[in-house]
């Protein structure tokens, strides 16, 4: 019995030891778990403390992008207290949602890559600020975002520093114009664009004449003041899209892309010369300088930025050699054209007061009666040095300088006087058509000036006709409609000249108060030999008469043309077949014979 009891006791003791070991192991595991939990809690508290004190903003959002936690730094960045941020969509979302394309890209990145970062600009209190935002999606075991964490950093100061450094690297500190580095970059970019578009580009090199004297006598401070003012004046003379740069010292350049014609460059150059010629007030001291300008054209003269700059520089020195205060082209033929234009301009300045302008008249013959009841007045200029100058040469110069308004007023007055002279000589009233320029049509006072001239000369509204072109109408339709409607209301007839050469359309004949259509002579020239031109002319005549317009064919020179136009029932013809343009007194007998 004792041995059995001992055996049972020993078994019991073994079982107790096993239980003790298991209990000890369990207690050890429990102790380790407690230690780990305390360590995790400590780590979590430490992490939250670090996040709370980060200088960068941190925003935690749930799966619906609603803020659940935010640190103090983001409250400062957003300017909002924590209570206004929690439970709402994050304030930075409003910056993202302004650009819907960006908004879509961000959500695509968060779904596919679980991360997006980028820079955004916003405004707070009227001032711009920049943020760098990095958003991370926190996903569960199934890859579904359960939370989003965003780190936001205010990078405004860094961006401003970058912009300031970039500006200093590319802009002249004195004038704030692009410097040589930026000038070269813009020139090269412009050349690539112009080459693709097959457009011309002009480059000017400007040197200030007399600057060194101002700098040496008045000091560098006054010299700097002059350079700043010169930069402002040059910039004010250029077109939208041009680039004015300062290369250094008293040297400036102008890049002129999209030139329609090389001869357009002198318009800008002359404005610059005129602006620089005005006196400079340098702290109470009046100073004068001038400019020497060299001009070169891409691709006519060169196709690289270096060569163009050399060409413009060479042309500028030629301008200095020719007395300064002028501009010169790099190529001799363009210089010849510029010289002629300058000669024309100088002559036109005094042509009106010297009585050098004349009006010639070309009759319009009415086919149904064979009589002359209207003529066209054509401008002529007889200069003592240049001789009889073609209108094709001097009219564009009048337009450019603005003198066309004053000369145009003289032409209308002279036409009115001629109308009265023919009546005094016993002729029936002859309507005189006067060509109007686009610049005159844009003058707000034109209609009142015309009324004044009619009253002054005693000519009725049926004594004058105004001729315009399609291109004039297209340049400013709204102004044209107003002016022509007023003229029509006064009883003054309006003719559309050169019909068929531009944008001819029935809609224009409906929109504008047009009484007469003048078929351009280029269509009349071949109607005897070209069935296509003949059909165009016949169609224009038929169309115009359907719209109750009077039709005039210009440039009639042969009997064959006359007979065709008669068969098409054209109303009037004008051309060398009957008479070239001649002075009014020479035309009197012709009109008398035709109308007898």
pTM of the full structure:
0.54
pLDDT value of residue 52: 59
Identify the three-state secondary structure at position 249: coil
Nearest CA to 267 out of 338, 352, 320 is that of: 338
> Per-residue pLDDT averaged across 456-474, rounded?
87
Residue 167: pLDDT over 80:
no
**How far apart (Å, rounded) are the C-alpha atoms in residues 499 and 570?**
14
pLDDT digits (tens, 9 = 90+) for 10-45: 555 555 455 455 444 544 554 454 444 444 444 545
Half-sphere exposure of 572 (CA within 13 A, CB side): 21
**How far apart (Å, rounded) are the C-alpha atoms in residues 110 and 135?**
8
Query: What does each C-alpha distance from 184 to 45, 162, 173, 248, 577 come to in angstroms?
Result: 58, 21, 17, 13, 59
Q: What is residue 427's DSSP assignment? A: P
pLDDT value of residue 37: 45
Residue 535: pLDDT over 80:
yes
pLDDT value of residue 125: 64
pLDDT value of residue 8: 52
Instruction: Decide which of 446 and 375 is more confident.
Output: 375
**DSSP for 129-149?**
EEEEEEEEEEE-TTS-EEEEE
**How far apart (Å, rounded) are the C-alpha atoms in residues 516 and 550?**
5
pLDDT value of residue 30: 46
Nearest CA to 206 out of 176, 182, 185, 237 is that of: 237
pLDDT digits (tens, 9 = 90+) for 309-368: 988 988 998 888 788 889 998 886 766 766 777 788 889 988 998 999 999 999 999 999
Tokens of residue 592, six digits: 């008398």
User: What are residue 201's DSSP bridge partners?
Assistant: 298
pLDDT digits (tens, 9 = 90+) for 175-227: 999 999 999 999 999 999 999 999 999 999 999 998 988 888 888 899 999 99
Rounded percentage of the chain residues whose pLDDT exceeds 90 = 41
> Per-residue pLDDT averaged across 532-549, rounded?
89
Instruction: Decide which of 261 and 50 is more confident.
Output: 261
pLDDT value of residue 117: 87
Contacts 24+ apart (CB under 8 A), 3-11: none
Place of tokens 């359309």: 505
**How far apart (Å, rounded) are the C-alpha atoms in residues 197 and 185?**
19
**How far apart (Å, rounded) are the C-alpha atoms in residues 496 and 481?**
13
Query: What does each C-alpha distance from 115 to 101, 141, 149, 523 come to in angstroms?
Result: 17, 17, 10, 70
Q: What is residue 178's DSSP assignment? A: B
Which residues lie below 8 Å from residue 32, measured CB to CB, with a gap of 6+? none
pLDDT value of residue 35: 42
> Per-residue pLDDT averaged across 389-411, rounded?
87
pLDDT value of residue 42: 46
Bridging pattern class, strands 200-209 and 290-298: antiparallel
**How far apart (Å, rounded) are the C-alpha atoms in residues 391 and 362?**
15
pLDDT value of residue 342: 75
**How far apart (Å, rounded) are the C-alpha atoms in residues 379 and 564?**
30
pLDDT value of residue 34: 43
Q: What is the mean pLDDT of the chain?
A: 84
Share of the chain residues as helix, strand and coil, in percent rounded to the nearest 5? 50, 25, 25
- Phi, psi (degrees; rounded to nearest 5) at 194: -65, -35
Tokens of residue 94, six digits: 């409003």
Residue 9: pLDDT over 50:
no
Q: Which of 185-194, 455-464, 473-482, 581-590 has the lowest mean pLDDT?
A: 473-482
Tokens of residue 178, six digits: 């692009």
Torsion angle in degrees (nearest 10) through CA of 495, 499, 502, 506: 80
Quote the distance between the C-alpha of residue 406 and its chain's center. 29
Residue pair 74/59 in contact (Cβ under 8 Å)? The answer is yes
């Amino acid at each position: 019995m004792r041995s059995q009891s001992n055996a049972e006791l020993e078994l019991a003791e073994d079982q107790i030891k096993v239980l003790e070991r298991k209990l000890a192991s369990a207690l050890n595991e429990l102790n380790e778990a407690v230690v780990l939990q305390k360590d995790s809690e400590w780590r979590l508290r430490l992490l939250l403390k670090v996040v709370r004190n980060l200088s960068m903003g941190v925003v935690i959002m749930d799966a619906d992008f609603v803020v659940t936690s935010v640190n103090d730094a983001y409250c400062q960045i957003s300017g909002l207290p924590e209570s206004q941020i929690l439970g709402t969509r994050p304030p930075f979302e409003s910056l993202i949602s302004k650009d819907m394309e960006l908004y879509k890209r961000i959500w695509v990145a968060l779904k596919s890559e679980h991360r997006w970062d980028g820079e955004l600009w916003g405004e707070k209190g009227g001032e711009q600020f920049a943020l760098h935002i990095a958003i991370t999606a926190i996903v569960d075991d199934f890859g579904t975002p359960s939370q989003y964490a965003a780190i936001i950093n205010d990078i405004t100061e860094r961006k401003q520093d970058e912009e300031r450094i970039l500006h200093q690297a590319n802009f002249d500190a004195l004038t704030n114009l692009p410097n040589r580095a930026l000038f070269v970059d813009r020139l090269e970019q412009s050349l690539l664009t112009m080459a693709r578009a097959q457009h011309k580009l002009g480059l000017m090199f400007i040197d200030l004449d007399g600057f060194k004297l101002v700098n040496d006598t008045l000091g560098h401070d006054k010299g700097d003041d002059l350079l700043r003012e010169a930069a402002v004046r040059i910039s004010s003379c250029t077109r939208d899209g041009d680039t004015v740069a300062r290369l250094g010292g008293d040297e400036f350049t102008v890049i002129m892309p999209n030139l329609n014609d090389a001869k357009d460059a002198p318009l800008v150059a002359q404005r610059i010369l005129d602006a620089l010629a005005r006196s400079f007030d340098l702290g109470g001291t009046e100073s004068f300088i001038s400019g020497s300008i060299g001009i070169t054209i891409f691709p006519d003269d060169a196709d690289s930025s270096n060569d163009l700059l050399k060409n413009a520089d060479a042309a500028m020195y030629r301008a200095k050699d020719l007395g300064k205060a002028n501009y010169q082209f790099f190529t001799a033929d363009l210089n010849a054209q510029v010289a002629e234009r300058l000669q024309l301009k100088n002559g036109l300045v005094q042509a009106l007061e010297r009585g050098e302008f004349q009006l010639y008249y070309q009759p319009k013959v009415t086919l149904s009666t064979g009589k002359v009841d209207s003529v066209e007045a054509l401008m002529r200029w007889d200069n003592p040095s240049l001789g009889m100058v073609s209108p094709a040469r001097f009219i564009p110069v009048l337009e450019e300088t603005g003198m066309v308004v004053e000369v145009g007023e003289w032409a209308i007055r002279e036409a009115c006087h001629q109308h009265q002279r023919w009546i005094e000589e016993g002729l029936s009233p002859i309507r005189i058509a006067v060509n109007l320029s686009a610049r005159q049509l844009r003058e707000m006072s034109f209609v009142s000036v015309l009324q004044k001239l009619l009253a002054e000369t005693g000519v009725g509204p049926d004594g004058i006709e105004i001729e315009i072109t399609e291109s004039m109408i297209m340049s400013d339709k709204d102004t044209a409609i107003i002016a022509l409607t007023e003229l029509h209301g006064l009883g003054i007839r309006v003719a559309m000249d050169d019909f068929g050469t531009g944008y001819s359309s029935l809609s224009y004949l409906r929109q504008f108060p047009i009484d007469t259509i003048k078929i351009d002579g280029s269509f009349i020239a071949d109607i005897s030999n070209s069935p296509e031109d003949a059909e165009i002319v016949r169609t224009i005549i038929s169309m115009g008469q359907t719209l109750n317009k009077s039709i005039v064919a210009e440039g009639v020179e042969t009997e064959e043309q006359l007979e065709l136009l008669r068969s098409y029932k054209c109303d009037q013809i004008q051309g060398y077949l009957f008479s070239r343009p001649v002075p009014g007194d020479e035309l009197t007998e012709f009109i008398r014979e035709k109308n007898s």
